[in-house]
Amino acid sequence: MLLQGRILNDAFRPPIPGWLLIQDQRIVEVGHGQPPSKPDAGDASSIICPGFIDAHLHLPQIDSIGHDGLDLLHWLEEVIFPAEALWQDESWAARQVETAYGRLLRAGTLGYAGFLSSHFHGYVHVVRTGHHWPIRAIVGQTLMDRNAPPALLNQSLARIASSVRSRVNSSINPRFALTCSDELLALAKSRAAPGTYIQTHLAESELEVQRVRVLFPNDPHYAGIYDRHGLLTPHTLLAHSVHLNDAEWQLIAERKSVVVHCPTANIFLRSGVFDLDKARRFGVRLAVGSDIAAGPDLSMPAVARSMIETAKFRTMTIDGAAYIPSPAEVWNLITRGNAEALGWHDAGRIEIGAAADLLVLNPPFQTDDHLVEQLLYTWRDDYIVARIAAGRFVNAPPSPKESFETGPSSRTLQRGR
């Protein structure tokens, strides 16, 4: 496969007119100037960039966007737990995975780390869907054994082998300390072989932190609960981390765990304003995620833009000297930065040997001086004219006037009945 366009590999540098040759799922040549033959996609005015990577989302929540006016814990109880309980129905779960993957592709997201429901068959459907739409994934069952509807509680964890062929790797996903006993957290650790990714939530809202303190009175702080169970590792993804003290930031940095900033979700649920300066000061590894469905937008450029806006808001209201990331910085974060955080050192970049997960864009402007800023602040998914995943073209389904289904017996399942 041959692609032509202006190659946007590093957002801090202008794009370079050139071409890419792809073979066996990899980039095998990168050239400047005119391509050696007629390209399969793109032209001299196109932009070629890495596909976007989302470091935190929930597939079962794909149709739960927009339930406003609730704080985190009430939103979980009234909206999210009922939506996840619907995944008891295997056919419903399969359709929802297809729906989610279709929307991810339309948004240009070619890799993600995420949560399923508590049901094992959700992972099976992700693997099956991945054969058709080879989106790279780190994903796992949500683990809970208390403070949730009975239909979502699990005291055991299925042993799932990673599927290299479908580009899906399984992860261990205790939801958060509020819904996990010491016994379940210990089980999660026992199943996490060295190098296994662990995904959880940490200190998203103040009320959550208060309730966790009651449940775990002998731990010094929230992050300490996970650390006591050996769950803070270089392969741990900690979503949100809004309400941390300095000891927690220091501990996370020492363990080399990854904090996943979810700016759109934090604002939507009014959970708090992330402290980017603390993350930078303590040298914490950072990623960014949409957190669908608390985050209302699957588009990673929109999420990246919200990261800048959150920092600006913090500057105006909390800390007048707060650090504000640049458009180039956040663009790199949703490509190569998130890839590094997820351990995908061959992704999020355009170079020989890298995975061929790419987008071809035709935006309505040609300037190179402010290209990334314009892409970020005017982004529309229809800028994407071709998607290449695992070295082959993948066609995203057309964007229909989608009906957001409530699912089978949604009202009867609402509170686990």
Give, in degrees to the nearest 5, the angle at Cα 53 between 118 and 67: 55
> What residues have CB less than 8 Å from 233, skipping those under 6 apart?
192, 198, 255, 256, 257
Tell me if 72 sits within 8 A of 205, measured CB to CB.
Answer: yes
Q: Could you tell me which CATH number the domain at 2-50+348-393 has?
A: 2.30.40.10
Indicate the domain borders of the chain.
Answer: 2-50+348-393, 52-341
Exposed e or buried b per residue across 214-243, where buried means at least 16 C-beta atoms within 10 angstroms of its C-beta: ebbeebebbbbbbbbbbbbbebbbbbbbbb
For residue 366, the model assigns a pLDDT of 80
> What residues have CB less than 8 Å from 400, skipping those under 6 apart?
none
Biggest distance spanned by C-alpha atoms of the chain: 67
For residue 408, the model assigns a pLDDT of 57
CA distance 86 to 399: 24
CATH architecture of 52-341: Alpha-Beta Barrel (3.20)
For residue 406, the model assigns a pLDDT of 55
Number of residues in the chain: 417
Note down pLDDT in tens along the chain; length 417 residues: 999 999 999 999 999 999 999 999 999 999 999 999 999 999 999 999 999 999 999 999 999 999 999 999 999 999 999 999 999 999 999 999 999 999 999 999 999 999 999 999 999 999 999 989 999 999 999 999 999 999 999 856 665 555 545 699 999 999 999 999 999 999 999 988 899 999 999 999 999 999 999 999 999 999 999 999 999 999 999 999 999 999 999 999 999 999 999 999 999 999 999 999 999 999 999 999 999 999 999 999 999 999 999 999 999 999 999 999 999 999 999 999 999 999 999 999 999 999 999 999 999 988 778 999 999 999 999 999 999 999 999 998 887 555 445 565 443 343 333
CA distance 383 to 388: 15
What are the C-alpha distances in Å from 211 to residues 36, 214, 270? Answer: 63, 5, 18
4, β-bridge pairs? 19
